[in-house]
Every structure is written in C-alpha cells, then in structure tokens.
C-alpha cells in the first residue's frame, strides 16, 4: 500500500483520552499496511488560550513573537501522540514544521508554504515509522517560525500529501462529512458523498467551516484526493475529488449546498467622486493593512459620484472603517458601516449557465420577507448579504426551496 496523510483537528486531540483514541486509529491504519504521515492541530482551544495569555502580558505583542508562542500548541500535540503510539508498539517520531522540511514565506501569522523538503519524512517512512508533523507552521528564510493562519493544519496536511505523492489525504474532524447545509440549522440536511474541489472550495470560502479553502485548492492543483471523516465514528464521510464520473453530464443537479457565514461586516463610501484609479485608491489601503474584501458593490454613477460598499470580516471592521474615514474627505464622500450582518450562499457547479437559480433564490428570500442588502455572483455561487438575525431562516427556506433534503447527494 502507498502513503496516506492523516490530519486531526483540535477537537480530535482535545484531551489525553482523545489522543489515545487517535493513536488507536493511527495504529489500525498502520497495521493495515499504509505508510502514515499524521498532522495534528493544537489541543482543543489551546491556540485561543495562548492568544489570551499574550494579551495579558503585552498590550501589543509583535507578530513574530505571537508565531513563536502559537507554534508551541502543535508541538505539545505531536509529542503526546508520538508517546501514545510508541506505547502501543508503533514506532513514531514527532517533528516540528521545520524538521519536516516545511518552508514558508509572507507575513507572520498568515504565511504561505513556499516549499517542502520531504527527505526526512521519506527516511522515517522507509524505517517503518509513523511521522507526526506539527500543523499550522513552517520556517521562513530567516529560520523563524511562521504560522499559516486560519486552516493552517488542513493546508499542511494537503501540502504534505502533494509533496509525498500520497494516495490520499484524510481530514478527521468533529463532523462526519460535508452536508448540504449546517445540520444545526437544518436537521434534514444530507451528507454529500462526493463533491468536486471547486464546489468544496467555494463552500469553504462562503462559510463552511469543515475545511479551509486554501487546502482544497491546493489539493485540486496537485491532484490530491481528500477524504473528510469524523474522528469519533467510522462513517464513510465525504470525498473531495475531480469529476471523473461522466454519467449525467448535463442532467446532474447543480446545487451542492446552502452555506452561511456570520463573520460579516459592511463598509461603504457614499457619494464619492469617481474616475480612473478611484477603486485602486479605495482598496489599496485595505490591502496594505492585510484586510481581505469579499462582496463589492458599486452603484451607478450620477453627476460624477457613486457609492462603493464592500464586506470584510468583523474583526477587520474597525480598521477598515478607519481607513475609509481617512480616505473619504479626499474623494468628497462619507464613510459608514455596520457589523451585524451575515451571508447566505447557494453553491453548485455551473449555476449561471443554467438560468433560474438566482431568480429562485431571490424569490424564496422575498417570499420569506428577508431583505437582501448586497449580492455577489459567479459561475458557481450566488451570495446574498442580509441582517445576521435573518440568516438561519434564510438557510432553512433555501434548503427547502431547492429540495436538498430530498436529493441524492
């Protein structure tokens, strides 16, 4: 058998008993003949605890020192899992991101993987060992620890699978796969057995928390098949893979699922003078501050003036609004914003090539009396921004309207 990369999230290794259970699962896979590389996250809420501790000792901790601190969470997990495996007669070695050959670049706190040098990993596998790699981290050109930001352990696992030409990458989490909607909101939501990387990445970007879109896109780029499973059960989960199945090419159902996101705030510049380069003046300061922008809406120009609105994460709202308030006088307009918003997205391959999906979404929300604040579309999704309090109801109505609870997914 070939190489399998497994990743266990923080909830899967939250306690000593959980780590022992992971060790039993890894041992079972090893006994079945697979060469294993295992990536783990920090235990439970350890990352949050470390961030709180940093805030208690410093008013403004340096990003480099934050990365030094946060990287220790994963080091605890890999060492403990290696101990548990060795107790079970499975030879295992724990490695930091650096020891595993993970090279990064970019900013502290949001680094990207530039290269993996897997020689040591291959050596451990050749010796019959299980290699346990700290997720979420690597080292930059200075030799400093650099973390990968949100979803970093997912990205670590998929990158390792690509570098080692693994048979598959298994992502173990606290849910048993990808669903047509959040089952906590829609109890009738159904598990999706197979989903394309493009659909999964869009669902992840739009709010699905099971996997990070960076990891999904990396898997698609290098042809890594990803299996999402529960670390607390034995179900088949969801497989993220390319569309080799050519049955029902143009008759397959288009909508994969309904996704929501409550981490949304809106910032607007109203009545600004517009012309060549205006949008660059608006969005360059945000990029320089490391603020990602999602939905962008520009109103029709009247008398040389227009309104520009965009969404950001709530954590970025104060800084984004401050940047626009500094810019607004130079453009002859005013800045304003609001935080209590959410997004609901209908996601599925080729939606805009088949008319009616956007209209059905708008009709459904209109009949439910849910006002739409902003809209974003692509070939694979239609997203509506609305008040946060309306999100749960919108998800339920759309799931019912698109009959996802009755569909073979």
For 6-15, the pLDDT digits (tens) are 999 999 999 9
* pLDDT for res 363: 95
* Total Cβ atoms within 10 A of residue 2: 11
Domain-embedded: residue 153 = yes
Instruction: Confirm if 139 and 194 have CB atoms less than 8 A apart.
Output: no
Question: Cα angle vertex 247, ends 241, 251, to 5°?
Answer: 105
Q: What is the pLDDT of residue 71?
A: 95
The answer to whether residue 265 is domain-embedded is no
- CB of 139 within 8 A of CB of 95? no
What single string gives the DSSP state of each residue in 96-108? -TTTTTEEEES-T
CATH code for position 77: 3.40.1160.10
Residue 51 lies in a domain: yes
The whole-number pLDDT of residue 245 equals 45
In a domain, 143, yes or no: yes
Among 102, 93, 109, CA closest to 135: 102
Q: Classify residue 142: in a domain, yes or no.
A: yes
**302 forms bridges with which residues in the sheet?**
305
- 144 falls within a domain: yes
In a domain, 232, yes or no: no
Instruction: Output the pLDDT for position 151.
Output: 75
Chain segment 136-169, per-residue pLDDT in tens: 999 999 999 999 987 789 999 999 999 999 999 9
pLDDT the model gives residue 249: 39
First and final C-alpha spacing in the chain: 30
| pLDDT score for 354 | 66
Count of domains in the chain? 1
Tell me the H-state helices in 38-163.
Answer: 46-57, 63-87, 119-126, 152-163
Query: Has residue 27 been placed in a domain?
Result: yes
Strand bridging mode 102-105 / 92-95: unpaired
Q: Are the CB atoms for 209 and 46 separated by under 8 Å?
A: no
Tokens of 340: 């209590």
Query: Using CA atoms, how far apart are residues 296 and 25, in angstroms rounded to an integer?
Result: 45
pLDDT at 353: 62
Q: Which residues contact 248 (CB under 8 A, 6 or more apart)?
A: none
pLDDT by 10s per residue, the chain, length 409: 699 999 999 999 999 999 999 999 999 999 999 999 999 999 999 999 999 999 999 999 999 999 999 999 999 999 999 999 999 999 999 999 999 999 999 999 989 999 999 999 999 999 999 999 999 999 999 999 999 987 789 999 999 999 999 999 999 988 889 999 999 999 999 999 999 898 898 898 888 888 888 899 999 899 999 999 988 877 889 999 875 443 333 444 578 899 999 999 999 999 998 888 899 999 999 999 889 999 999 887 777 789 999 999 999 999 999 999 999 999 999 999 999 999 999 998 766 566 688 899 999 999 999 999 999 888 888 999 999 999 999 999 999 999 888 755 5
Q: Which domain holds residue 154?
A: 3-174
Over residues 209-229, the pLDDT tens digits come to 888 888 999 998 999 999 999
């Amino acid at each position: 058998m070939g190489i399998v990369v497994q990743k266990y999230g923080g909830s899967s290794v939250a306690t000593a008993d959980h780590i022992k259970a992971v060790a039993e699962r890894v041992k079972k896979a090893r006994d079945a003949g697979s060469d294993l590389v295992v990536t783990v996250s920090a235990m439970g809420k350890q990352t949050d605890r470390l961030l709180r501790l940093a805030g208690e000792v410093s008013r403004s901790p340096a990003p480099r020192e934050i990365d030094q601190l946060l990287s220790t969470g994963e080091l605890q997990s890999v060492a403990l899992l290696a101990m548990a495996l060795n107790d079970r007669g499975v030879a295992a070695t724990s490695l930091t991101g650096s020891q595993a050959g993970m090279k990064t670049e970019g900013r502290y706190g949001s680094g990207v993987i530039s290269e993996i040098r897997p020689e040591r990993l291959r050596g451990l596998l050749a010796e019959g060992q299980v290699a346990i790699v700290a997720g979420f981290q690597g080292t930059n050109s200075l030799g400093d620890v650099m973390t990968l930001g949100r979803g970093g352990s997912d990205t670590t696992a998929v990158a390792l699978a690509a570098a080692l030409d693994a048979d598959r990458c298994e992502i173990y989490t606290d849910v048993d796969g990808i669903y047509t909607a959040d089952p906590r909101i829609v109890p009738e939501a159904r598990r999706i057995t197979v989903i394309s990387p493009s659909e999964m990445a869009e669902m992840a970007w739009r709010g699905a928390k099971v996997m990070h879109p960076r990891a999904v896109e990396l898997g698609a780029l290098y042809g890594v098949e990803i299996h999402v499973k529960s670390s607390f059960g034995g179900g088949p989960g969801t497989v993220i893979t390319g569309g080799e199945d050519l049955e029902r090419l143009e008759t397959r159902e288009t909508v994969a699922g309904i996704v929501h996101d409550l981490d949304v705030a809106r910032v607007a510049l109203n009545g600004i003078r517009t012309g060549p380069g205006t949008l660059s003046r608006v969005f360059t300061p945000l990029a320089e501050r490391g603020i990602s922008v999602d939905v962008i809406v520009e109103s029709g120009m009247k008398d040389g003036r227009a309104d520009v609105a965009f969404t950001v994460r709530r954590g970025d709202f104060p800084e984004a609004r401050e940047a626009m308030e500094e810019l607004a006088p130079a453009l002859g307009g005013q800045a304003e914003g609001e935080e209590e918003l959410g997004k609901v997205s209908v996601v599925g391959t080729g939606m805009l090539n088949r008319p009616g999906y956007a209209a059905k979404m708008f009709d459904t929300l209109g009949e439910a009396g849910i006002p739409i604040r902003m809209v974003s579309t692509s070939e694979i999704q239609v997203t509506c921004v609305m008040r946060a309090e309306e999100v749960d109801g919108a998800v339920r109505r759309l799931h019912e309207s698109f009959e996802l609870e009755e569909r073979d997914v």
